[in-house]
Amino acid sequence: MKITEVKVIVTCPGRNYVLVKIMTDEPGIYGVGDGTLSGSELAVAADLEHLSQLIIGMDPSNIEDIWQKVYHCTYWRGGPVFMSALSAIDLALWDIKGKVAGLPVYQLLGGQSRDDVWVYTHAHGRDPQEVEEHVRSFHEKGFKFVRAQLTGGYGGYGGPGMLKRVPSGREGIPDTDYFSPEKYLIETPKMFEHLRNALGMEVNLLHDVHEQLTPNEASRLAKSLEPYRLFYMEDPLRPENKESFEMVRRSSTTSIAMGELFTSRWDCLPLFMKQLIDFIRFAPIHIGGITEAKKIMAMAEPFQIRSAFHGAADIGPIGQAAAIHIDYAIPNFGVQEWITFHPSTYEVMPGACQLEDGMVKLPQKPGLGLDIDEELAAKYPYQRAYMPIVRRVDGTYHVY
């Protein structure tokens, strides 16, 4: 079998996605992948066009060899754009392998390690009472894990700490949010006190900091949230300085999850080796695909670190499915972030994973289980998009 073509598909059914279809010389056998990197979609697409020439003519069944060839071909390797492009290729190769074998991808990864893959979703509100009502509405739908945020700026992390929003005045250019860490650090524990009083101690609550605090601020937050027994505190610090986590770790027993912005095994290893975190949160489609994600989770295993793969709306249904197949297969699964997509996203990528009672149904179809409707995808052209802009209250850009 040979790779004959790599189709790069950029589409915007509700939001932008960068997809690939790897075609082969075997009739009807092709693989689909997702390399979406929010705010840098066209850069990933250009890289995919460039890399595709390297793999045309290769046997798609040799996934590891293709991975190594693509990874090393650039000499200056790595980085989010490149790793997302490599991930998209890797996913499509696993999809092909599954289709050829007639097996879902999790079977190729060693089979089922658990009965259920639990997910968490996002509750928010303008005050603690509203957050409580939103959490309860998810419990009624069967969710066992819920992330709780006071509404503020991007991802709802800032809550009352997000003091104002200044519109950019230009279409497609994001507004600027002004954030006060002090106010955030005062109000967030109050919200969890309310939630625990209202909901009891046994429900699984999470909270996302979106990398906005200094080590000392994050330590204070972890300590103040300790009585409320979070399932974990997510992404407390910027991703660059791994040693900062030692301070947060020493400050409390609040569980720590990190890694939404990680794009390499070398981001993960320093945190693993000192057991500075409890959950690793990279997205398989940003770190090198299924091949690399499986290896990193094996590295995490001896340090008793579990998975909590990033799965917000920027990871499309194909990237979500890749995470779910790994979740079912690895022994050290923790929880999976879950989002419901825009209805047109499901039409462009039919076959998405399904949720039942707060758990993802075991994928049954060969490969990843999804397809890409190219004609429909073409009806949703790319829309220019950026990530949010956050400044401190005095106008300083968030630099630490």
97/134 with CB nearer Mg ion: 134
CB of 208 to Mg ion, least distance (A): 4
Between strands 117-125 and 176-179, the pairing is unpaired
Q: Which of residues 352-391 bind Mg ion (CB under 5 A)?
A: none
CB of 209 to Mg ion, least distance (A): 8
Residue identified by tokens 């419990």 is 139
63/206 with CB nearer Mg ion: 206
Torsion angle of alpha carbons 105, 110, 113, 119, nearest 10°?
-30
The answer to the question of residue 217 lying near Mg ion (CB under 5 A) is no
Residues 6 or more apart whose CB falls under 8 angstroms from that of 57 comprise 2, 3
Which of the ranges 127-135, 201-209, 285-293, 350-358 carries the binding residues for Mg ion, by CB under 5 A? 201-209
Which of the ranges 20-28, 68-76, 255-263, 390-398 carries the binding residues for Mg ion, by CB under 5 A? 255-263
The answer to the question of residue 208 lying near Mg ion (CB under 5 A) is yes
82/232 with CB nearer Mg ion: 232
CB of 212 to Mg ion, least distance (A): 11
Token representation of residue 32:
């689909």
Binding residues for Mg ion, total number by CB under 5 A = 2
Q: Which of residues 259-318 bind Mg ion (CB under 5 A)?
A: 260
Which of the ranges 48-56, 114-122, 182-190, 205-213 carries the binding residues for Mg ion, by CB under 5 A? 205-213
Catalytic residues: 157, 210
CB of 32 to Mg ion, least distance (A): 25
Angle at 174 between CA 338 and CA 11, to 5 degrees: 55
CB of 301 to Mg ion, least distance (A): 23
11/320 with CB nearer Mg ion: 320
> Residue 30: how many CB atoms within 10 A of its CB?
23
Which residue's CB comes closest to Mg ion?
208
208/292 with CB nearer Mg ion: 208
The answer to the question of residue 187 lying near Mg ion (CB under 5 A) is no
Helix (H, G, I), strand (E, B) or coil at 21: strand
Distance of CA 306 to CAs 98, 102, 244, Å?
A: 26, 29, 20
Between strands 117-125 and 145-150, the pairing is parallel
Contact by Cβ (8 Å): 290, 105: yes
Residue 199: burial class (beta carbons within 10 Å; 0-12, 13-18, 19+): middle
Which of the ranges 109-117, 169-177, 202-210, 392-400 carries the binding residues for Mg ion, by CB under 5 A? 202-210
99/122 with CB nearer Mg ion: 122
Burial 226-249 (b: 16+ CB within 10 A, else e): eebbbbbbbbbbbbeebebbebbb
Residue ranges in contact with Mg ion by CB under 5 A: 208, 260
